[in-house]
Amino acid sequence: MLDNLNPATGQIIAKIPNSNHADVAKATDAAKLALPNWRGLTKGERINWLNKIAQALEERSEDIAKTESMDTGKPIALARRVDAARSISNFRFFAKHAEQLTENKFTMADATNYVIRKPVGVVGLITPWNLPLYLLSWKVAPALVMGNTIVAKPSEMTPMTANLLAKTLHDIDFPKGVVNIVHGLGPSTGQAILEHPEICAISFTGGTETGKIVAKTAGPMFKKLSLELGGKNATIILDDADLETAATGAAKAAFTNSGQVCLCGSRVLIDAKIYDAFVPKFIDAVAAMKVGNPADESTDIGSVISQQHMEKVLSYIELAKQEGGTITHGGQRIIPNHASLQNGSFISPTVIENLSISSRCATEEIFGPVVTLHKFDSDFEAIEMANSTQYGLAGSIWTSDTTRGKQFAKQIDSGILWVNTWLHRDLRTPFGGVKNSGVGREGGDWSLNFFSELSNICVKDD
């Protein structure tokens, strides 16, 4: 059994099994057994089930928020507004989006081609600790509606809301064996999912290094693969940006969820002409963020996911000093003056200036409340800097001329770009990145296509 901690208090809140190959084999057998009936339902019947799950989760949304906040250390307000809300809307969205899914038909002079969709079969879902139920539901919903059955492994750091989902499915008499949750460490339990010959697709969200292991294991088995990995995203402040709006937006993009979102803007690139006017506004927005008890409604920044992760983030802050950086704000561990939080892993939101764009702190994913500021002298240089890392996931551009912003965005080698906003999500759009940020896209039709296999039936005219 593995201890599961509340990172804000350091207390053990649960124990989970470190499941082994035999456990994964049992879960896969259950998924296989349940597949014929589940895929045999009509799409409409499966859509009804997704709406029932959404309804049941909605009735538990406060419990989801509290559990997620306790399991991750994130503020309760964030867990409510983002994690719980999006877990529910993921099911609702894919129920609706699957309705409009059409099957293509291509007619020839003497024949007709019918493109039909079949489920992939038993699919493996492996998810990280930063947005536990949000990312698990993002994969479960489309996999189910396309007729697949599931073996899912949440991060061993955040098992609680996956269990909550399983309990919810049980409570609404959801067919047994369709969704199977297995708990445990990546190299043992996760690896067993990658290796199981009857799990036909892997949808993975996590770190780039682990993504390489997933690809190496599942690739030669010709499993379908969707890899959503890390990022080192640029927030670009153009010379004609509204400085107040851009400062607030850049701070939100940098420090939401303590910077533990793959979409976070961890590098802020600022036109040199407005650098001195922008930075004080940015620092004000960061200084206004309240670091404290995740259970407190007014907290903006909670604990990072673990003591180990806090040490990793603090080591990057030390490295920044060695690389010539100046810590303009924050830079240290915080121990809130609350008796229960003395063993928490709280880091102040940290702003670092004067680092080279090619420094390790400006090119490696830190995945914590740390942001580096950089000047550029031309749009061309800004694009070069934005594209200068091994990642290519997301980015945002702040300007008063949206035509210029869109033109600029087209030159950034990333999968997701925002102009004058951040984390504004239309679930129909493709989500994913290039280079070390992964392979494939999820969202809207891209999820429905990933979780289905296409067959073309060509019928000769009589």
Q: Are 230 and 205 in contact (CB under 8 A)?
A: no
Q: At its nearest, how many Å lie between ligand TXE and the CB of residue 105?
A: 37
Residue placing its CB nearer to ligand TXE in the complex, 279 or 313: 313
Tell me how far apart the alpha carbons of residues 300 and 265 are, in angstroms, rounded to a whole number.
Answer: 17
- Candidate residues 191, 226, 345, 389; the one interacting with ligand TXE per rule CB under 6 A: 191
Are 124 and 205 a contacting pair, CB within 8 Å? no
Minimum CB–partner distance for residue 25 and ligand TXE (Å): 16
83 or 156, CB closer to ligand TXE?
Answer: 156
Tokens of 376: 């550029």
Nearer to ligand TXE, 147 or 438 (CB): 438
Nearer to ligand TXE, 209 or 244 (CB): 209
Among the listed residues 49, 93, 129, 422, the single contact to ligand TXE using CB under 6 A = 129
In the list 187, 219, 280, 324, the residue contacting ligand TXE (rule: CB under 6 A) is: 187
Q: Which residues are annotated as catalytic?
A: 228, 262
Is 278 a binding residue for ligand TXE by CB under 6 A? The answer is no
17 touching ligand TXE, by CB under 6 A: no
Cα separation, 147 vs 98, in Å, equals 11
Q: Which residue has the tokens 């984390």?
A: 423
Q: If binding means CB under 6 A, how many residues of this protein chain bind ligand TXE? A: 25
**Which of 68, 71, 83, 156 touches ligand TXE (CB under 6 A)?**
156
207 touches ligand TXE (CB under 6 A): yes
By CB under 6 A, residue 247 contacts ligand TXE:
no
**Cβ(386)–Cβ(269) below 8 Å:** yes
Instruction: Report the C-alpha gap between 374 and 139 in whole angstroms.
Output: 36
- Three-class secondary structure of residue 426 per DSSP: coil
The residue among 76 and 214 lying less far from ligand TXE, judged by its C-beta, is: 214
* H helix or E strand, kind and range, residue 164: helix 160-171
Q: Of the candidates 231, 277, 248, which has an alpha carbon nearest to the alpha carbon of residue 421? A: 248
Work out whether 155 is an interface residue with ligand TXE (CB under 6 A): yes
| Cβ partners under 8 Å of residue 243, min gap 6 | 274, 277, 278, 281
Q: Helix 85-99 and helix 43-59: axis angle, to 10°?
A: 160
What does the DSSP assignment read for 33-74? HHHHHHHHS-HHHHHHHHHHHHHHHHHTHHHHHHHHHHHH--
Among 75, 186, 440, 443, binds ligand TXE (CB under 6 A): 186
Nearer to ligand TXE, 24 or 141 (CB): 24
Q: Is 60 near ligand TXE (CB under 6 A)?
A: no
**Under DSSP, is residue 239 helix (H, G, I), strand (E, B) or coil?**
coil
Q: What DSSP character marks residue 431?
A: B
Out of 7, 75, 147, 230, the residue judged to bind ligand TXE by CB under 6 A: 230
Please report, as residue ranges, which positions from 353 to 372 form the binding site for ligand TXE (by CB under 6 A): 365, 367
Closest approach of Cβ 309 to ligand TXE, in Å?
7
Q: Shortest approach of ligand TXE to residue 44 CB, angstroms?
A: 33
70 vs 247, beta carbon nearer ligand TXE: 70
Distance CA 401, CA 241 (A): 8
Residue 206 found at the interface with ligand TXE (CB under 6 A): yes
CB 133, CB 165: distance < 8 Å: yes
Binding site for ligand TXE (CB under 6 A): 126-130, 153, 155-156, 186-187, 190-191, 194, 205-207, 210, 213-214, 228-230, 262, 365, 367
